Amino acid sequence: MYDFDKIVDRTNTNSLKYDLREFFFKDKDVIPLWVADMDFETPIFIREAIQKRAEHPIYGYSIKPDSYFHSITNWLKKRFSWDVIKEDVLFSPGVVPGFTLAIMAYTQPGDKIVTQPPVYFPFFQSVEDNGRELLYNQLIEKDNYYTIDFEDLETKLSDPKTKILLISSPHNPVGRVWNKEELEQMVTLCKKHDVLMLTDEIHSDLVFKGHQHLPTASISEDAKDLCITFMAPSKTFNMAGLSTSFLVIQNEELKKKYEDVLQAYHLGLGNVFGNEALEAAYTHGEEWLEKLNEYLTSNTNYVFDFLENNIPEINFLKPEATYLLWLNCKQLGLKEKELQKFFIKEAGLGLNNGSIFGPGGNGYMRMNIACPLSTVKTALDQLLKAIELFRKEKK
């Protein structure tokens, strides 16, 4: 019913992932495994909803009907046992713009914001480009498994100028699903030091068997009071170009401050087709998502086994969530620019260089495996040929 093996030609469609390869990698033919969108067709029920709306000949200003909000609240209840009401759901043109609007709403220039690298790099831009100071609570890595340095975190949160902890949950790129104890400890420290939590939970649907995502705001009354949660169907259903992000804010004072900034920038209406797409995704998408996660798990297992059997110099821990693999390439002994050049020039692969994710990222590459297995196989075959040549040259 769902063909994740189908190859879809995305070139010349103004795709950032495909049509900017030459700009970013100086090679228009690399296999693009970087930008975090998928090479699978957006589900048919979403495309049909857009097509139905497109048949009406006027695409004017539009509002969000009750059914839009109900699709969100029903999805959150069913998947996460999280009780959210319509009034707690606010629009954002994207998760990253949402961070920025929230930073504008809750902080002043010169205030400090803590984040946990190696982490999704637009976090850094949202903070520093708006005159706030970035503090790093670097994750602790052991055998490719990451945990939170709570002692360092409390030190950073105790600074009176620290106003926000910005977290990635599930974490991009290391693939952790933070457990209840970890979330509770972060909430406790934020409560103690009067710090808000902005939680990027855009990958919350892409969680694999044996793990369960917990919305941070759902774990306690304290969490509910100090969390601003960012979500979207964009990663889940491959529709990142439709402006379908939203926030959940259950603290009335915080909600008002965000709404004031959103209104000041006149960003609240959204996209007429994005509204239809979101509602269709959350109304009809459960079976499709289950099959997607099975396919992503299979792709992950294929890469893991291939590297273990053929390229032990590169390894990773299977992610608990996301379709992003955090490849540890340190055994190759290459410096940052040499590693990136090796993947591009020798292997013909366009991945994200780990250093862009901040401290702790050097020596890693982020690989997007949300693509047909045939693409994964071709990419790994190219990587193996490059590695075999690399081994001969080192002798």
**Which residues touch 256 (CB under 8 Å, ≥6 apart)?**
none
The domain made up of 46-284 has a fold known as: Aspartate Aminotransferase; domain 2 (3.40.640)
Alpha-helical regions (H) of the chain: 16-19, 21-25, 44-54, 66-80, 95-106, 122-128, 150-157, 180-192, 221-226, 234-237, 252-264, 272-284, 286-310, 336-341, 373-394
If you search the block for the tokens 């670097």, which residue do you land on?
Answer: 138
- 395 band by pLDDT with thresholds 50, 70 and 90: confident
Any idea where the domains of the chain sit in the sequence? Answer: 16-43+286-394, 46-284
Q: Is the pLDDT of residue 147 over 90?
A: yes
What pLDDT shows up at residue 321? Answer: 98
Measure the CA–CA gap between 317 and 325, rounded to whole angstroms: 8
CATH 3.20.20.70 for domain 16-43+286-394: no
- 394 band by pLDDT with thresholds 50, 70 and 90: confident
* Surface-to-core class of residue 330, CB atoms within 10 Å of its CB (0-12 exposed, 13-18 middle, 19+ buried): middle
Section 378-385 average pLDDT: 98
Contact indicator for 197, 190 with CB cutoff of 8 Å: yes
- 74 band by pLDDT with thresholds 50, 70 and 90: very high
3-state class (DSSP) for residue 328: strand
0.95 exceeded by the pTM?
yes
**How confident is the model over 78-134, as pLDDT tens digits?**
999 999 999 999 999 899 999 999 999 999 999 999 999 999 999 999 999 999 999
Section 131-151 average pLDDT: 98
**Which residues touch 242 (CB under 8 Å, ≥6 apart)?**
234, 271, 273, 274, 277, 278
